[in-house]
Structure 1
Amino acid sequence: RYYLLLFVSISAFKHVFWAWYLLQAPLTLATTIVLCCINYFFDTVNTFLYLAAYTTPTDYREGITQTMLIGGILFLLGSTIETSSEWQRRTFKASRYNEGKPFTGGLFRYARHINYTGFTMYRLSATLLTGGWIAAMGVATCHMVDFLARAIPVLDRYCQMKYGTQWKNYKAQTRAVLIP
């Protein structure tokens, strides 16, 4: 239980840090509502999965299990990838010398949307702890489908319009979209 509480607490801090510091565009009311609904949905699913597992008689083992260890590693790795990639981009964009340029360095040199990969890893880790491997893969699939079918195409169109040839060259140089 405390392991999961730690994950949720760190996630809440990450969300606030992202919205107040890393995000460089204002959050609209519509975007805020959508983000809240998505987080509410996945957090509610995790809560019900945890309650189902906790109240079901099983061979429950005390201490840290292999699944908890893997979940913890995925959480730390995913959180680090997402937050550090966003931090790197923010630092790049803060310099007036980089005005009008896409950020192609740091972790983004390995995959164009590496921050989404980190996000997916840290979100599936909480579900891994509450609902096991099948539920975690379901969450990962939901996020990957959303990113590949909706978020990334919208962002690619925006970046193509904003950066033109620079974005085209970056896409040619960094062929990986999510996973390096």
Structure 2
Amino acid sequence: MPKELHDNVSRVKAPSPIGKGIFVGLRIADVFWQYNLISQGWGVNLIQKLGGTAIQYPPALSPLTLGQLQPYYGLVSLLSLGSTIKQVVHITFVSEQQLDPGSGILIAVFNTVFNSLNTVLSLWALSSPAASLPQPTTLRELVSSPLIATGIAAYAIGLTAEAVSEFQRKSFKKDPANKGKPYGGGLFSLATNINYGAYTLWRAGYALTCGGILWGATTFGFFFYDFASRGVPVMDRYLTKNYGDKYLEIKNRVKYSLLPGIY
């Protein structure tokens, strides 16, 4: 019996001020939560209570210094901030889909859980790429780590590609001449679900920067598998139902589904 496909978001287009307002509020709160996991010592305390060893820096570079985070942890905080800005902009200016309060809470909490895992792993001596950089004081010293440099690059490329592709599609849909047409231009000409692939990429980059190779690979695998086995088939079913042969023409033209050159 074939596996039943489940869509995690509503495809109904309708105003959702309450649901979207809750989502925006929780995503903004996440920035402060991640910052306090570092600056207030909550993450370090959790690691120690679980029997782990947290990274220890000289006092002047302590990640627990309020308002003056050690550079690596300033970077970790910026990664959570960037993800929040992108998602708040998307839900406010791009998305037309209905978002009920329950879904708004669930999606926001899901993102906070992943961000929190990243933050805690960045503080754990066993997993943090910063463990090999005893006293990084400049951005140059941070990016001298291949793991951190690769993570930052994947995060920046993925987050930018996701945002740009969604705005490109939004602009196409706003043109009355394109009513009833699926979009297969811009970055979507590289992969039919390039936004999903880009999300996977920046999530993996975020994880790699904070938790190293194993956590980065695990995060990439988790989202890649979910999108390949569920997300893409759900979208194919939805777009085929709504656009028929017009969408099939795009599928025949665009070789990849998630990441150009990969899948």
Q: Please confirm whether the aligned pair reaches a TM-score higher than 0.5, indicating the same fold.
A: yes
Q: 1:26 aligns to what SS in structure 2? A: coil
- Give the distance between the partners of 1:59 and 1:119, measured in 2 at CA: 28
Q: Distance in 1 between matches of 2:159 and 2:203?
A: 9
2:253 equivalent to 1:158 = no
Matches within 5 A, 1:30-179: 30-53=102-125, 58-61=131-134, 62=136, 63-64=141-142, 65-179=145-259
Residues 113-132 of structure 1: CA distance to partner in whole angstroms, max 9, x if unpaired?
Answer: 11111111111111111110
| 1:4 equivalent among 51, 54, 76 | 76
Structure 2 counterpart of 1:52, one-letter code:
W
Deviates more, 1:159-168 or 1:24-33: 24-33
Going from structure 1 to structure 2, the CA distance change for 1:58 and 1:102 (only over 3 Å counts) comes to: closer
Q: Deviations over 1:96-136 (max 9, x none)?
A: 11111000100101110111111111111111111101100
Q: Comparing both chains, which one has the higher relative contact order based on Cα–Cα distances under 8 Å and sequence gaps of 6 or more?
A: 1
Residue 18 of structure 1 corresponds to: 90
CA RMSD in angstroms comes to: 1.9
Whichever residue aligns with residue 122 of structure 2, its letter is Y
1:54 deviates by 8.2
Q: Which has the larger radius of gyration?
A: 2
TM-score (norm 2): 0.64
Q: Give me the whole-angstrom Cα distance separating, in 2, the residues matched to 1:75 and 1:59.
A: 21
Identity of aligned residues (%): 29
Flag the structure with higher helix content: 1
Q: Could you tell me how far 1:59 is from its partner in structure 2? A: 4.2
Aligned length: 180
Could you say which residue in structure 2 is the equivalent of 1:28?
Answer: 100
Runs (4+) of structure 1 exceeding 6 A deviation are 54-57
